[in-house]
Amino acid sequence: MVTLLNVEDARRLARRRLPRGLFEYLDRGTEDEVSIAGNRAGLDAIRLAPFALEDVSQRAQDTVLFGTPQPCPLVIAPTAVAGLMSYDGEVAMARAAKAHDIPFCVSTQSMTSIETIARDSGARLWFQLYVWKNRARTFALLDRAAGAGADTLVLTVDTAVSPKREYNQRNGFGIPLKPSVRAGIDVLCHPRWFADVFLRTLRTTGMPTYAHYPDEFRTALGRAVVGDEISLATDVSWKDVAALRAHWKGRLILKGILRASDATRAIAHGVDGIVVSNHGARNLDCAPHPAHVLPAIVAAAGGRLTVLADSGVRRGSDIAKYLALGADGVLVGRAPLYGLAAAGTPGASRVIELLRAELDTTMALLGVTRLDQLPRTLQMEA
């Protein structure tokens, strides 16, 4: 694992290992990918100014998120079909989270059920929700998540419809996996993935599928057929937030907030936290970068809820930047997924280790010893 010296190393390895269709699904954005570049530019433009001659011999990056102490300010973001990135990918990722004592957020669209992930990893789990058209089925899913021990529900609010990702169509990539000549050649060019991930999954658990989808929506092949009842609901509104708040006993987070007014509305609905996020530039291509809107949202929140941020984190200094802008914690999506695709649990764990080490170096060079000192390093524009 020493060979992985940064997130980009893991990305390169992931690109080699995964079929092109799968890698592009992991790596790319939507439409013209303007916000992919924007996420990078947004973080790169931020400057943190060091304090000279501070004693930084005792540094700590531990924090408390939602009342629970954790050794670093990271959460592993929900990512659909992580189970295709490496064998038993969701469990492998949860084990990496467990190794670092940070939460892993299980996606509605994961390939392994939250019950199995909980049993096989022992990790602290959050559950991410895409609301289905059939609300009764949606609530039944939430009860499963609570029963499996998820203490935090993350409602994704930025995905009313599936975004336009033309490369998926060109690559013939989609869930359920559809056989095509192009996808077949792609897979045959990656025999190691085919044997280690696909065939092994087929042998042990059957055809890869969305594990949380009800059985009656599966074909004989075991593939999920997205029936109307469990397709994405396009009418999700604040009424659903109120209903979820009444139903869900644990903490409730809204993921994908990009406006101060929505943060204020979230507070009025009794929400515990928000994730300021543009979904890693994977949905609305003209969305703002979280770094641009974060300070106004933090000001509107006024400490009344926990503010997390994500999108574009590839270095420990990116984490420092989000924290300097006022976030309480940071989610990472692609970075650990690259590690997972590169080398399973050790790969994902190595990426988290690298990010933590880079955050530590950044703090030392900035002359700060605790995370709550980061906001004062922010270099304001002249």
89 binds ligand FNR (CB under 6 A): no
313 binds ligand FNR (CB under 6 A): yes
Q: Which residue lies nearer to ligand FNR by CB, 157 or 368?
A: 157
**Is residue 192 packed enough to be buried (19+ CB in 10 Å), middle (13-18) or exposed (0-12)?**
exposed
Would the annotation count 282 as a binding residue?
yes
Q: Which residue lies nearer to ligand FNR by CB, 110 or 345?
A: 110
**CA-atom Rg of the chain in angstroms:** 20
Residue 261 Cβ, how far from ligand FNR at the closest point, in Å?
Answer: 21
346 binds ligand FNR (CB under 6 A): no
- For residue 254, list its beta bridge partners: 155, 274
Q: Which of 29, 83, 290, 333 binds ligand FNR (CB under 6 A)?
A: 333
Q: Which of 38, 83, 280, 329 binds ligand FNR (CB under 6 A)?
A: 280
Residue 41 Cβ, how far from ligand FNR at the closest point, in Å?
Answer: 13
Rounded to 10 degrees, what is the CA torsion of 246, 252, 254, 255? -140
- Let me know: does 86 contact 344? Beta carbons within 8 Å: yes
- Tell me the C-alpha distance between 125 and 146, whole Å: 10
Amino acid letter for position 160: A
Judged by DSSP in three states, 132 sits in strand
* Closest CB to ligand FNR: residue number: 333
Residue 87 Cβ, how far from ligand FNR at the closest point, in Å?
Answer: 17
Kindly identify the residues of this chain, within the stretch 179-238, that bind ligand FNR according to CB under 6 A: none
Would the annotation count 309 as a binding residue?
no
- Tell me the C-alpha distance between 275 and 66, whole Å: 13
- The number of beta carbons lying within 10 Å of the beta carbon of residue 327 is 26
Nearest to 294 by CA among 336, 323, 253, 331: 323
Assess whether the previous peptide bond of 176 is cis (omega < 30° from 0). yes
21 binds ligand FNR (CB under 6 A): no
Judged by DSSP in three states, 218 sits in strand
Q: Which residue lies nearer to ligand FNR by CB, 241 or 332?
A: 332
152 binds ligand FNR (CB under 6 A): no
Residue 58 Cβ, how far from ligand FNR at the closest point, in Å?
Answer: 30
Q: Which of 312, 326, 344, 346 binds ligand FNR (CB under 6 A)?
A: 312
From the candidates 269, 279, 289, 292, give the one annotated as an active-site residue: 279
Site string for ligand FNR, 232-261 (x = CB under 6 A): -----------------------x------
- Let me know: does 331 contact 105? Beta carbons within 8 Å: yes
Would the annotation count 360 as a binding residue?
no
Judged by DSSP in three states, 76 sits in strand
Q: Which residue lies nearer to ligand FNR by CB, 158 or 371?
A: 158
Contacts of 79 (CB under 8 A, 6+ apart): 107, 333, 334, 337
Q: Which residue lies nearer to ligand FNR by CB, 14 or 368?
A: 14
Kindly identify the residues of this chain, within the stretch 101-120, that bind ligand FNR according to CB under 6 A: 107, 109
- Tell me the C-alpha distance between 190 and 303, whole Å: 49
Query: Tokens at residue 286, please?
Result: 């003209």
Would the annotation count 231 as a binding residue?
no
- Let me know: does 365 contact 47? Beta carbons within 8 Å: no
Residue 279 catalytic? Answer: yes
Q: Which of 156, 306, 349, 362 binds ligand FNR (CB under 6 A)?
A: 156
Residue 26 Cβ, how far from ligand FNR at the closest point, in Å?
Answer: 5
- Tell me the C-alpha distance between 335 and 280, whole Å: 11
359 binds ligand FNR (CB under 6 A): no
Backbone angles phi, psi at 313, to 5 degrees: -75, 115
Annotated binding site: 25, 78-80, 107, 128, 130, 156, 165, 255, 277, 279, 282, 310-314, 333-334
**Catalytic residue positions, numbered:** 279
> Which parts of this chain interact with ligand FNR (CB under 6 A)?
26, 77-80, 107, 109, 128, 156, 255, 277, 279-280, 282, 310-313, 331-335, 337
